[in-house]
Chains A and B, each alone.
Chain A
Amino acid sequence: MDGLRGNQLHGWAWDTRAEQPHLRIEVRADGVLLGSTDAAIFRADLAMAGKRNGHCAFAIALDPLPAPGTVLTVAAAGGGMGRELTGSPFTVPAPLVPGCADQVTDVLPLPIGTPRLHGSLDQCGPTRIRGWVRWLDGTGRSPTLSLHEGDRELLRFEANQWRADIAELQQDDGCCGFDLPLPEALGDGLLHVLELRMADSGVAVLQSPFRIRGAAALTAPRTRGVSPLQRKAVADTVDLSVIVNFYNMRREAERTLTSLSRDYQHDAGDLSYEVLCIDNGSNPPLDPGWIASFGPQFRLVRPSRQLTSPCAALNEAALQARGKYLALMIDGAHLLTPGVFHEARRAWQEHPDAVVAVRHWFIGGDQRWLAMAGYTREQEDRLFERIRWPANGYELFRIGAPIGENPEPWFDGLSESNCLMLPTALYDRIGGFDEAFDQAGGGFANLDLWRRASDATNGPLVSLLGEASFHQFHGGTTTNVDDAEKDSRVRAYANAYRALRGEDFAGVHRSRLSFRGRMPSEFATGVRQRTLLPMHLGITEQVRSGQLALHFDEGAQAHLQSVYAECALQREVRWLGQPVGVAPADLVSLQEIIQQVRPDAVIVVGAEAGLVAFIDNMLSMIDGAASRILHVNPPSAMSAWPARVTALQGLPGDPHVLATVRQWVGSAEAVLALQATGATETFSLSTLQDYGALVSYRSYLICLGTLFGQPWLGYSSHQYLHTIREFTGTHSPFVIDRSWNRQLISTCPSGFLRKVGGLCTAANYDASLDTIAPDQPSLMENQQ
């Protein structure tokens, strides 16, 4: 018995002597049966422990929960003495906290299982319910589930969302997931006992009801409110007040203010607006006359208090603003493209309550990285000169790159905007910037403002397309420090946010955004394919360690490899004039493995002749004169095999072939095996096990050609990976060694399998093997 969770008694049981399907477990108090169930639930840890392949766990709901002190006996049914489980008799414990014994929530995931379907309830609370469920008979219909509290149905939904993990696991379409918000009725912070049922039949799909606690009580007490701002009425209002914050950035301010000028912003001739320029303690200070030189609507604002965080200064300036709308630019190093005001006005004409967000880009590229390679403010100035800025503001896209690594720069969700434009009344109502964000630069204050505005607005959240703010290179708190320092600061900001809001920060999902705009510049799209203006930087001399996954994600790599395979470029790779059938990087990997393992025997199953020749050459180069190669089931006849190669015709899984291979390997100490993929009779779990058994400790079994087109188009699949996963699963001595797939293009992704199990230690040393030919003592005598 593992214990009591909520009102469920958990544990596991099986009978090692019997072949019966499952044990029936019964719970009794004073001889009265309180509940029973089959011990048949799967648990991975029990599988790992060798307990009936993991299918022997149970969960029995006790409803009502017996009073504390009640003695329960838990036993397998049908037996007498000796059938009681370890841990029984069990006394229902006193509450951990007086009065709260029944206040314990269940720990998820919980397995979903009926005779007809299976799945998992992965999450339920504090705000979402998530999991998957599918029919066991393979039908394509989506199960419809309902969530109940007592007799009340709270939610009804179809399990029809696509999940990549389930698609791969089940090798089907994977459209059996669900992930949706919990109903508001559960957001009261109280404990709820819920049940998940089949919507049509009402049959419960979980072993028993489960307990969850909604969001409110977890977060509300810790969530600190922000008081609304109190604004004095002004007579001479304008349409828009831009509030831009500067701190020691005179150079950057010049371009930023230019981008806010009436001459630069398109269609701004009839727009009444003002620009309030905060100088938050610059040294030397900004000159009011210089500020005013950008136009009559520009004026300098000096905050009444000098704080490291700009939040108070921004609020102070906002209260001086006369605009019906505000545009907040917390970092004055961002300059704008020319259509920002125009698009914002259009959005407000369509919906006066719209909140308009401008996405942010870098000038030059990722400035943290560029700074390491010699990028300077002077270099940046040259970029501006090359596009003759400000003649055409959209030329900024020629010299910029989106901040962040998402390959899609326009339609992703949004965490922050460095030009956030919203109704002044909304800004006041949500209290503006939260001055509790007191870190230098404001920490997550700008993210928080966007988040709160998005939650509080009655209007649409408009994300502009084709317009952006561009960050200039300067000594900002996170944009111009190295990755490690930026990481450290962001972590501290994130924790400070959580301390203030009681939850981790989450950006606004793309589904909540409206998009408006146009693409004035062809350089604003296809950002991965285009070339920036050339500039001499020492980038090729620098190594950006550990960032590959961020800058070239797994999806991009899968796409690249699929295109490679579909164009069959591996067929153009040759060794000494013969096809090898793998990518060049795989040849280099194989060379390194041969040098590392120094095999006495190499078994090659179904590989191209050029690859066998390559292995032969490599063995010669490492002085492996005695090393041998066995080529099983060669795809084509060769006129002359290298001297060390023995060819063996026949299917790799044929028992006679296998016997011959085992005999050929004999007493070789270092054995390497390569197996080409293909039809199931040549590449299967069985053949992997057969040839894997011959591979020596710390050597490799290399699966050639595991790459297989674009699985997301449906005409291909991860079938080889599925087989490999089966092979490397529980108790396998092999692991998938992905370190050989780092060169981006490999025709053997997940195909390098290393044998790391099966180590002989002093503890498991079998001394009986030291006796040679124990059944032939006479032979030894004859030798003497």
Chain B
Amino acid sequence: MNRFWQRYIHPLIETAQPRRIMEIGADRGWNTSNILAYCRATGAHADIIDPAPRASLHEVLAQFGPAEYRYLPLKSVAAIPQLETPDVALIDGDHNWATVYSELNQLHARAEQTGHAPPIVISHDVAWPYARRDMYYNPDDLEASQKHPYAYRGMLPGVPELVEHGMNGVLANALQEGGPRNGVLTAIEDYIASADTEFTFRKLPFFNGLGILVPAARMTPALQALIDSFFSASSMLEACLALEADGMHLRAILTQTETCLSRRTDALQRAREVIEAQRQRLEELELLNRNHAATA
């Protein structure tokens, strides 16, 4: 989500001018750092929610103070009902239908209870691979009826089933892509369909996808113009450049990995030769020993 900050999220926040921001899923704190810098500059306040962040989040939080944020080491569905309605919510938590649908509904319900409009919601992972497929960081956290059959296997674009050597095989991914109650984008669409509220929903379909959901009550001409501008030809060209740079960066990493693999393969080959040499030397010594014993 951090890759969307400069070109998309920051302008959205600058235009919407939120006084309260909620971040669900802080992980390493990369985006948190941006959010809190905005809060420090404007006097806004952020609720940062993540039950199991990386260690570096605490280093990020340590650079700011209570005036800018409140950190909640809770699951989002436990935290949201207790918090004030944000103006903008950034969602990048558990990437599955049940969680995202609950988060959106809870935000909506909380807004209704307190007489506010539902927040502007900026969601990551509305494109492949988790737009139409659930992923569970900790499957045991969800009830059986809230999750699809899953496996710790990877994904390939265009392949609905999981494959052993696909992407993100270290995570619990739903066995099948598509179908009802499956994936982040499906959750957002189902929320929009079930809420008796008018929304504008647009999605940027790259870098795993960014969804921008604005309730009519929070839409302004400036915000509408900004969102529309994200889809102009020039903006799309900029996106192409960013994607190309990202692709080249990955190519570089691949090259580095291939270099490492080649070196390690060579090393293993040498290891075999060393072991073989030692084995032969041992045989020679044993033979010498036997001969020595026989002649003694």
Asked if A and B bind, the verdict is yes
Which of B67, B74, B112, B266 interacts with A502 by CB under 8 Å?
Answer: B112
Say whether B117 faces chain A, with CB atoms less than 8 Å apart: no
Contacting pair A782 B277 (CB below 8 A): yes
A770 vs B265: C-alpha distance when bound (angstroms):
9
Q: Interface code A553-588, partner B: CB below 8 Å = 1, 0 otherwise?
A: 110000000000000000000000000000000000
Q: Of A296-304, A327-335, A528-536, A737-745, which binds chain B?
A: A737-745
Say whether A754 faces chain B, with CB atoms less than 8 Å apart: yes
Say whether B145 faces chain A, with CB atoms less than 8 Å apart: yes
Q: Interface code B173-197, partner A: CB below 8 Å = 1, 0 otherwise?
A: 0011001110000000010011110
Chain A residue nearest to B171 in the complex (CB): A756
Contacting pair B144 A553 (CB below 8 A): yes
Contacting pair B66 A4 (CB below 8 A): yes
Chain B residue nearest to A555 in the complex (CB): B144
A502 vs B74: C-alpha distance when bound (angstroms):
25
Known: A48-B55, A738-B139, A772-B274. A218 touches B113 (CB 8 A): yes
Say whether B220 faces chain A, with CB atoms less than 8 Å apart: no
Contacting pair A219 B113 (CB below 8 A): yes
Q: Of A544-552, A621-629, A638-646, which binds chain B?
A: A544-552
A420 vs B67: C-alpha distance when bound (angstroms):
55
Contacting pair A770 B181 (CB below 8 A): no
Say whether A679 faces chain B, with CB atoms less than 8 Å apart: no
A522 vs B28: C-alpha distance when bound (angstroms):
60
Say whether B257 faces chain A, with CB atoms less than 8 Å apart: yes
Q: Which residues of chain A are within 8 angstroms of B67 by Cβ–Cβ distance?
A: 90-91, 93
Known: A45-B50, A222-B113. A756 touches B169 (CB 8 A): yes
A761 vs B176: C-alpha distance when bound (angstroms):
28
Chain A residue nearest to B55 in the complex (CB): A49
Q: Which residues of chain A are within 8 angstroms of B181 by Cβ–Cβ distance?
A: 484, 487, 546
Say whether B236 faces chain A, with CB atoms less than 8 Å apart: no
Known: A90-B66, A91-B67, A495-B194. A770 touches B52 (CB 8 A): no
Contacting pair A48 B196 (CB below 8 A): no
Q: Interface code A744-784, partner B: CB below 8 Å = 1, 0 otherwise?
A: 00000000001011010110010101111100000110110
A107 vs B47: C-alpha distance when bound (angstroms):
11
Q: Which residues of chain B are within 8 angstroms of A222 by Cβ–Cβ distance?
A: 112-113, 115
Q: Of B56-64, B86-94, B203-211, which binds chain A?
A: B56-64
**Closest approach, in angstroms, between the C-beta of B80 and any C-beta of chain A?**
10
Say whether A381 faces chain B, with CB atoms less than 8 Å apart: no
Known: A96-B45, A737-B152. A550 touches B274 (CB 8 A): no
Contacting pair A759 B170 (CB below 8 A): yes
A214 vs B149: C-alpha distance when bound (angstroms):
40
A738 vs B79: C-alpha distance when bound (angstroms):
28
Q: Interface code B143-177, partner A: CB below 8 Å = 1, 0 otherwise?
A: 11101111110000000000010000111100110
Contacting pair B109 A504 (CB below 8 A): yes
Which of B63, B72, B149 interacts with A107 by CB under 8 Å?
Answer: B72
A554 vs B147: C-alpha distance when bound (angstroms):
13
Which secondary structure dominates chain A's binding surface? mixed
Q: Which residues of chain B are within 8 angstroms of A546 by Cβ–Cβ distance?
A: 148-149, 179-181
Contacting pair A780 B274 (CB below 8 A): yes
Q: Which residues of chain A are within 8 angstroms of B151 by Cβ–Cβ distance?
A: 737, 739
Say whether A5 faces chain B, with CB atoms less than 8 Å apart: yes
- Sorting the interface of chain B by its residue count into under 10, 10 to 19, 20 to 34 or 35 or more gives 35 or more
Q: Which residues of chain A are within 8 angstroms of B169 by Cβ–Cβ distance?
A: 698, 756
Chain B residue nearest to A47 in the complex (CB): B52
A105 vs B267: C-alpha distance when bound (angstroms):
61
Q: Interface code A214-233, partner B: CB below 8 Å = 1, 0 otherwise?
A: 00001101100000000000
Contacting pair B263 A93 (CB below 8 A): no
Q: Which residues of chain B are within 8 angstroms of A49 by Cβ–Cβ distance?
A: 53-55, 57-58
Question: How many chain A residues have a CB neighbour from B under 8 Å?
Answer: 74
Q: Interface code B266-284, partner A: CB below 8 Å = 1, 0 otherwise?
A: 1100110110011000000
Contacting pair B58 A739 (CB below 8 A): no
Chain A residue nearest to B153 in the complex (CB): A739
Which of B61, B71, B143, B264 interacts with A769 by CB under 8 Å?
Answer: B264
Chain B residue nearest to A11 in the complex (CB): B66
Q: Which of B66, B84, B151, B152 has the most CB of A within 10 A?
A: B66
Contacting pair B113 A502 (CB below 8 A): yes
Contacting pair B53 A3 (CB below 8 A): no
Chain B residue nearest to A735 in the complex (CB): B152
A96 vs B278: C-alpha distance when bound (angstroms):
75
Known: A3-B70, A44-B73. A754 touches B190 (CB 8 A): no
Say whether A50 faces chain B, with CB atoms less than 8 Å apart: yes
Contacting pair A45 B263 (CB below 8 A): no
Q: Which residues of chain A are within 8 angstroms of B149 by Cβ–Cβ distance?
A: 546, 548, 739, 742
User: Which residues 409-449 in A have Cβ within 8 Å of B in the complex?
Assistant: none
A495 vs B112: C-alpha distance when bound (angstroms):
11
Say whether A117 faces chain B, with CB atoms less than 8 Å apart: no
Contacting pair B79 A107 (CB below 8 A): yes
Known: A107-B74, A487-B180. A93 touches B66 (CB 8 A): yes
Q: Which residues of chain A are within 8 angstroms of B84 by Cβ–Cβ distance?
A: 96
User: Which residues 22-64 in B have Cβ within 8 Å of A in the complex?
Assistant: 45, 50-55, 57-58, 61-64
Say whether A139 faces chain B, with CB atoms less than 8 Å apart: no
A487 vs B182: C-alpha distance when bound (angstroms):
13
Contacting pair A545 B274 (CB below 8 A): no
Q: Which residues of chain A are within 8 angstroms of B69 by Cβ–Cβ distance?
A: 2-3
**Closest approach, in angstroms, between the C-beta of A3 and any C-beta of chain B?**
3
Q: Which residues of chain B are within 8 angstroms of A51 by Cβ–Cβ distance?
A: 55, 58
Q: Which residues of chain A are within 8 angstroms of B144 by Cβ–Cβ distance?
A: 549, 553-554
Chain B residue nearest to A757 in the complex (CB): B170
Say whether A736 faces chain B, with CB atoms less than 8 Å apart: yes
A483 vs B179: C-alpha distance when bound (angstroms):
11
Chain B residue nearest to A49 in the complex (CB): B55
Say whether A87 faces chain B, with CB atoms less than 8 Å apart: yes
Contacting pair A44 B52 (CB below 8 A): yes
Say whether B256 faces chain A, with CB atoms less than 8 Å apart: yes
Say whether B234 faces chain A, with CB atoms less than 8 Å apart: no
Say whether A615 faces chain B, with CB atoms less than 8 Å apart: no
Say whether B287 faces chain A, with CB atoms less than 8 Å apart: no
Say whether B260 faces chain A, with CB atoms less than 8 Å apart: yes
A488 vs B70: C-alpha distance when bound (angstroms):
35
Say whether A491 faces chain B, with CB atoms less than 8 Å apart: yes
Q: Interface code A326-359, partner B: CB below 8 Å = 1, 0 otherwise?
A: 0000000000000000000000000000000000
Known: A495-B195, A779-B277. A756 touches B267 (CB 8 A): no
Contacting pair B65 A87 (CB below 8 A): yes
A264 vs B244: C-alpha distance when bound (angstroms):
76
Known: A96-B45, A736-B140, A738-B139. A45 touches B51 (CB 8 A): yes
Known: A739-B150, A782-B277. A45 touches B112 (CB 8 A): no
Which of B58, B195, B260 interacts with A762 by CB under 8 Å?
Answer: B260
Q: Interface code B113-126, partner A: CB below 8 Å = 1, 0 otherwise?
A: 11100000000000
What are 25 residue pairs bridging A and B, where the CB atoms are less than 8 Å apart in the complex? Answer: A4-B66, A45-B73, A48-B54, A50-B55, A86-B62, A107-B72, A483-B180, A484-B181, A487-B190, A488-B190, A488-B194, A495-B194, A498-B112, A502-B112, A546-B149, A553-B144, A735-B152, A737-B151, A738-B150, A756-B169, A756-B170, A767-B263, A771-B267, A783-B273, A783-B274
Ranked nearest first, the 6 interchain pairs of A and B with the lowest CB-CB distance are: A3-B66, A549-B144, A491-B194, A45-B73, A484-B180, A49-B55
Q: Spell out B's residues near A (CB within 8 Å).
A: 19, 45, 50-55, 57-58, 61-67, 69-74, 78-79, 82-84, 105, 108-109, 112-115, 139-140, 143-145, 147-152, 164, 169-172, 175-176, 179-181, 190, 193-196, 253, 256-257, 260, 263-264, 266-267, 270-271, 273-274, 277-278
Q: Spell out A's residues near B (CB within 8 Å).
A: 1-5, 12, 43-46, 48-51, 86-87, 90-91, 93, 96, 105, 107-109, 218-219, 221-222, 483-484, 487-488, 491-492, 494-496, 498-499, 502, 504, 545-546, 548-550, 553-554, 596, 667, 698, 735-739, 742, 754, 756-757, 759, 761-762, 765, 767, 769-773, 779-780, 782-783
Q: A93-B67, A783-B273 are in contact. List 11 more A-B contacts (CB 8 A).
A: A45-B51, A105-B82, A107-B79, A498-B109, A502-B112, A549-B144, A549-B145, A757-B170, A767-B263, A770-B264, A780-B274
